[in-house]
């Protein structure tokens, strides 16, 4: 459920006309709905009510500070994968004790930052990382709380580029190595095993692979407890998918929560979840303006002012986003078929091929629905295009929460070597 609807023939985010935002801020622009973010956070919290559970919102999905602050006010923690994300989460007011640090390539500086700030847990992904973290923690005279991320060798389905739980994926330690690594951890100074972590992929609609991976992981927790490890937590990662189009029917959050209740029942474990897309996905759209119609012998290209640098998902994962005109099509509006493309000089700069939709005129605007997760965070300045702007709506008000940089700002990190001046 989200808060983007037509009112009086114009697409609104909550009480704000998206055209008004586009007029003031320009396009392309991401627009996020506070009510939708809050609703998703509350639905998830309610689904896990009564369980000892930490909802650590996955910052990688949408790390805008205003989005993070909104979620912090709902009691969310954070799942971060870099020092930058950790700083963002802290800057937005998410308490360190509600932050988990994931990722396969943490540097010593990032480890030190996590230890200094006192985060809840490090999700460690290799024996080498374990030794490094032990050294850093020892040098600081502290103890790092650790969950080892295990690779359960379970295929999640979904797009191969976002599947992480098969052996052969770079994520997690090989299943068979886990007991030995926990054993080694006991002898290592500066580290303490507090739990086990698993994450098998993203945009997963089917609960069965998740259940299989979670059951396997619970089995490992029991085995390790019997071997004398005092494990208190299980981190089940993120990954529940969202509907991007009518034909998608991912499991509802309530079923997901019920499955997790069943799998973890009676173990007395804190359950940590790292949802990203499920919270931010449907809470955002990207608005773009139609520049030109370009007829070709077998198709019509709709050329818009957003490029793959602004929304990478179609180019990277062949992802589908519903596209709605900001002006509500009437019964008399003809339907047509477009290839919708951006201005970037790459053939992959294509948002949709042969998309059937209402006719839209040059100068009118369209919205890419469900772009709140993995949208703006993946944007770049390719083709020397300014980073896309972001706006947050709350009821009848809206605010620019990341402005477009000026050209001077874009080039200020560069300098001429002496020999060229």
> What tokens appear for 325 in the block?
């005109």
Q: Given the complex with ligand LLP, which of 62 and 288 has the nearer CB atom?
A: 62
* Cα pseudo-dihedral 359, 365, 366, 371, rounded to 10: 170
Q: Which of 374, 419, 342, 365 is nearest to 277 (CA)?
A: 374
Interacting residue ranges for ligand LLP, rule: CB under 6 A: 58, 61, 79, 102, 162, 199, 202-203, 237-239, 274-278, 313, 317, 373-374
76 is catalytic: no
Q: Given the complex with ligand LLP, which of 260 and 373 has the nearer CB atom?
A: 373
In DSSP terms, 294 is beta-bridged to 301
Q: Given the complex with ligand LLP, which of 25 and 81 has the nearer CB atom?
A: 81
Integer Rg of the chain from CA: 23
Q: Which of 102, 144, 104, 147 is nearest to 238 (CA)?
A: 102
- Whether the bond into 28 is cis, omega within 30 of 0: yes
Q: Given the complex with ligand LLP, which of 318 and 412 has the nearer CB atom?
A: 318
> What tokens appear for 297 in the block?
């012998």
Residue 315: CB minimum distance to ligand LLP, A: 11
Catalytic residue among 13, 53, 76, 345, which?
345
Q: Given the complex with ligand LLP, which of 66 and 278 has the nearer CB atom?
A: 278
Query: CA–CA distance from 153 to each of 106, 124, 159, 164, 168 (Å)?
Result: 23, 17, 16, 9, 9
**Do residues 295 and 79 touch, judged by C-beta distance below 8 A?**
no
Q: Give backbone dihedrals phi and psi of 376, rounded to 5 degrees, phi first.
A: -60, -35
Beta strand pairing status for 29-33 and 389-394?
A: parallel
> What tokens appear for 72 in the block?
């912090």
> What tokens appear for 402 in the block?
């990341």
Residue 183: CB minimum distance to ligand LLP, A: 24
Tell me the catalytic residues. Answer: 345
């Amino acid at each position: 459920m989200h808060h983007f609807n037509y009112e009086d023939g114009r697409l609104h985010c909550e009480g704000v006309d998206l055209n008004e935002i586009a007029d003031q801020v320009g396009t392309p622009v991401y627009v996020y709905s506070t009510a939708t973010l809050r609703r998703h956070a509350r639905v998830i919290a309610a689904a896990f009510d009564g369980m000892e559970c930490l909802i650590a919102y996955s910052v990688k999905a949408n790390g805008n500070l205003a989005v993070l602050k909104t979620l912090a006010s709902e009691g969310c923690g954070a799942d971060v994968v870099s020092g930058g994300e950790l700083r963002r989460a802290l800057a937005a007011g998410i308490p360190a004790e509600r932050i988990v640090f994931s990722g396969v390539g943490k540097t010593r500086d990032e480890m030190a930052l996590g230890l200094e700030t006192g985060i809840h847990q490090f999700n460690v992904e290799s024996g080498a990382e374990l030794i490094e973290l032990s050294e850093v923690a020892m040098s600081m005279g502290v103890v790092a709380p650790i969950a080892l991320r295990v690779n359960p060798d379970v295929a999640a389905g979904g797009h191969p580029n976002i599947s992480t739980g098969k052996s052969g994926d770079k994520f997690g330690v090989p299943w068979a190595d886990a007991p030995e690594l926990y054993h080694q951890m006991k002898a290592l100074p500066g580290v303490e095993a507090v739990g086990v972590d698993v994450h098998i992929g993203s945009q997963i609609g089917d609960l069965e692979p998740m259940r299989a991976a979670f059951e396997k992981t619970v089995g490992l927790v029991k085995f390790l407890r019997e071997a004398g490890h005092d494990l208190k937590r299980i981190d089940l990662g993120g990954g529940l998918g969202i509907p991007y189009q009518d034909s998608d029917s991912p499991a509802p959050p309530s079923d997901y929560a019920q499955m997790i209740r069943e799998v973890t029942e009676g173990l007395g474990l804190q359950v940590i979840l790292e949802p990203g897309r499920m919270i931010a996905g449907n809470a955002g759209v990207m608005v773009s303006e139609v520049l030109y119609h370009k007829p070709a012998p077998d198709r019509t290209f709709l050329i818009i002012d957003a490029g793959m640098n602004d929304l990478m998902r179609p180019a990277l994962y062949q992802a589908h986003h519903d596209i709605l005109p900001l002006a509500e099509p009437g019964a008399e509006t003809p339907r047509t078929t477009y290839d919708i493309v951006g201005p970037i000089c790459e053939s992959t700069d294509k948002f949709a091929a042969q998309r059937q939709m209402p006719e839209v005129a040059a100068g009118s605007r369209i919205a890419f629905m469900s772009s709140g997760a993995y949208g703006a965070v993946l944007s770049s300045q390719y083709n020397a295009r300014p980073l896309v702007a972001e706006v947050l709506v709350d009821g009848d008000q809206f605010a620019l929460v990341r402005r477009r940089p000026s050209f001077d700002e874009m080039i200020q990190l560069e300098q001429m070597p002496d020999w060229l001046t």
